[in-house]
Amino acid sequence: MVDITEKNVTERTAVATGEIVMNKETLEAVKKGNIKKGDVLGTARIAAIMAAKQTQSLIPMCHNILLTNAKIEFSFDDDGNKIFIKSTVKTTGKTGVEMEALTMVAIAGLTIYDMCKSMDKFMVIGEITLVEKHGGKSGDWVKDEK
Protein backbone atom coordinates (compact mmCIF):
# COMPACT_ATOMS: atom_id res chain seq x y z
CA MET A 1 0.00 0.00 0.00
CA VAL A 2 1.01 3.58 -0.49
CA ASP A 3 1.91 5.38 2.75
CA ILE A 4 -0.60 8.21 3.27
CA THR A 5 0.55 9.16 6.77
CA GLU A 6 1.76 12.62 5.77
CA LYS A 7 -1.20 13.47 3.50
CA ASN A 8 -3.69 16.11 4.61
CA VAL A 9 -7.26 15.26 5.52
CA THR A 10 -9.56 16.87 2.94
CA GLU A 11 -13.09 16.44 1.67
CA ARG A 12 -13.03 14.12 -1.35
CA THR A 13 -15.66 13.09 -3.89
CA ALA A 14 -15.62 10.68 -6.82
CA VAL A 15 -18.29 10.06 -9.46
CA ALA A 16 -18.34 7.02 -11.75
CA THR A 17 -20.71 5.86 -14.45
CA GLY A 18 -21.48 2.74 -16.42
CA GLU A 19 -24.28 1.02 -18.26
CA ILE A 20 -25.92 -2.31 -18.89
CA VAL A 21 -27.47 -3.05 -22.27
CA MET A 22 -30.29 -5.59 -22.48
CA ASN A 23 -33.11 -6.58 -24.77
CA LYS A 24 -36.23 -4.42 -24.88
CA GLU A 25 -38.42 -6.98 -23.08
CA THR A 26 -36.00 -7.22 -20.17
CA LEU A 27 -35.75 -3.44 -19.83
CA GLU A 28 -39.54 -3.16 -19.76
CA ALA A 29 -39.77 -5.92 -17.14
CA VAL A 30 -37.23 -4.10 -14.95
CA LYS A 31 -39.16 -0.83 -15.27
CA LYS A 32 -42.48 -2.53 -14.44
CA GLY A 33 -41.07 -4.62 -11.58
CA ASN A 34 -41.82 -7.90 -13.36
CA ILE A 35 -38.51 -9.71 -12.82
CA LYS A 36 -38.90 -13.06 -11.00
CA LYS A 37 -36.10 -12.38 -8.50
CA GLY A 38 -37.73 -9.15 -7.30
CA ASP A 39 -36.91 -5.44 -7.21
CA VAL A 40 -33.92 -5.21 -9.54
CA LEU A 41 -32.89 -1.60 -8.97
CA GLY A 42 -33.57 -1.69 -5.23
CA THR A 43 -31.40 -4.78 -4.87
CA ALA A 44 -28.68 -3.28 -7.10
CA ARG A 45 -28.72 -0.11 -4.97
CA ILE A 46 -28.17 -2.07 -1.74
CA ALA A 47 -25.48 -4.26 -3.35
CA ALA A 48 -23.63 -1.20 -4.64
CA ILE A 49 -23.61 0.52 -1.25
CA MET A 50 -22.44 -2.67 0.44
CA ALA A 51 -19.68 -3.02 -2.18
CA ALA A 52 -18.47 0.54 -1.61
CA LYS A 53 -18.00 -0.27 2.06
CA GLN A 54 -16.04 -3.44 1.18
CA THR A 55 -13.77 -2.10 -1.56
CA GLN A 56 -10.65 -2.48 0.59
CA SER A 57 -11.47 -6.20 0.93
CA LEU A 58 -11.93 -6.64 -2.81
CA ILE A 59 -8.97 -4.67 -4.19
CA PRO A 60 -5.70 -5.58 -2.43
CA MET A 61 -3.91 -2.21 -2.27
CA CYS A 62 -6.92 -0.03 -1.38
CA HIS A 63 -6.98 1.72 1.96
CA ASN A 64 -9.82 1.24 4.42
CA ILE A 65 -11.77 4.50 4.04
CA LEU A 66 -14.53 5.87 6.23
CA LEU A 67 -17.22 6.88 3.74
CA THR A 68 -19.44 9.85 4.53
CA ASN A 69 -21.84 9.22 1.63
CA ALA A 70 -22.39 6.61 -1.07
CA LYS A 71 -25.19 7.19 -3.56
CA ILE A 72 -26.22 5.31 -6.71
CA GLU A 73 -28.63 6.49 -9.39
CA PHE A 74 -30.25 4.66 -12.29
CA SER A 75 -31.77 6.07 -15.47
CA PHE A 76 -33.17 4.47 -18.60
CA ASP A 77 -32.32 4.86 -22.28
CA ASP A 78 -35.32 3.28 -23.99
CA ASP A 79 -33.89 3.80 -27.49
CA GLY A 80 -30.66 1.99 -26.63
CA ASN A 81 -32.23 -0.54 -24.24
CA LYS A 82 -29.83 0.57 -21.51
CA ILE A 83 -29.81 1.26 -17.83
CA PHE A 84 -27.31 3.98 -16.97
CA ILE A 85 -25.63 3.68 -13.58
CA LYS A 86 -24.07 6.61 -11.72
CA SER A 87 -22.36 6.51 -8.32
CA THR A 88 -21.21 9.33 -6.08
CA VAL A 89 -18.97 8.61 -3.09
CA LYS A 90 -17.71 11.08 -0.48
CA THR A 91 -15.26 11.02 2.39
CA THR A 92 -13.24 13.32 4.56
CA GLY A 93 -9.86 11.65 4.65
CA LYS A 94 -6.31 11.28 3.40
CA THR A 95 -7.01 9.39 0.18
CA GLY A 96 -9.64 9.45 -2.54
CA VAL A 97 -12.71 7.33 -3.15
CA GLU A 98 -12.32 6.66 -6.87
CA MET A 99 -12.12 2.89 -6.46
CA GLU A 100 -15.20 2.88 -4.24
CA ALA A 101 -17.19 4.78 -6.88
CA LEU A 102 -16.05 2.42 -9.64
CA THR A 103 -16.78 -0.63 -7.49
CA MET A 104 -20.31 0.61 -6.85
CA VAL A 105 -21.02 0.87 -10.59
CA ALA A 106 -19.51 -2.54 -11.34
CA ILE A 107 -21.44 -4.33 -8.59
CA ALA A 108 -24.69 -2.58 -9.48
CA GLY A 109 -24.26 -3.78 -13.07
CA LEU A 110 -23.44 -7.32 -11.97
CA THR A 111 -26.45 -7.39 -9.65
CA ILE A 112 -28.77 -6.23 -12.44
CA TYR A 113 -27.28 -8.93 -14.68
CA ASP A 114 -27.79 -11.62 -12.03
CA MET A 115 -31.39 -10.65 -11.40
CA CYS A 116 -32.30 -10.47 -15.12
CA LYS A 117 -30.28 -13.35 -16.57
CA SER A 118 -33.29 -15.68 -16.72
CA MET A 119 -34.83 -13.31 -19.29
CA ASP A 120 -31.69 -12.19 -21.14
CA LYS A 121 -28.41 -14.07 -21.21
CA PHE A 122 -26.76 -11.61 -23.60
CA MET A 123 -26.75 -8.42 -21.52
CA VAL A 124 -23.56 -6.36 -21.73
CA ILE A 125 -22.09 -4.40 -18.82
CA GLY A 126 -19.77 -1.66 -19.97
CA GLU A 127 -18.44 1.87 -20.18
CA ILE A 128 -17.48 1.83 -16.49
CA THR A 129 -15.43 4.97 -15.99
CA LEU A 130 -14.49 7.64 -13.49
CA VAL A 131 -16.08 10.92 -14.60
CA GLU A 132 -15.30 13.29 -11.70
CA LYS A 133 -12.86 13.61 -8.81
CA HIS A 134 -12.80 16.42 -6.29
CA GLY A 135 -10.42 17.16 -3.41
CA GLY A 136 -6.98 16.03 -2.44
CA LYS A 137 -3.54 17.15 -3.57
CA SER A 138 -4.28 16.76 -7.28
CA GLY A 139 -7.40 18.91 -7.04
CA ASP A 140 -10.55 18.69 -9.10
CA TRP A 141 -10.93 16.73 -12.31
CA VAL A 142 -13.89 16.24 -14.67
CA LYS A 143 -13.76 13.94 -17.69
CA ASP A 144 -14.30 15.60 -21.07
CA GLU A 145 -17.47 14.41 -22.81
CA LYS A 146 -15.97 14.00 -26.30
For the annotated catalytic residues, the residue numbers are: 114
Q: What span, in angstroms and rounded, lies between the C-alpha atoms of 120 and 122? A: 6
**Alpha carbon 140 to chain centroid, angstroms:** 19
Q: What dihedral angle (degrees, nearest 10) is formed by the CA atoms of 43, 84, 110, 99?
A: -100
Q: What span, in angstroms and rounded, lies between the C-alpha atoms of 4 and 96? A: 11
Pairing type for strands 141-142 and 124-134 reads antiparallel
The answer for 23, left when phi > 0, alpha when psi is -120 to 50, beta otherwise, is beta
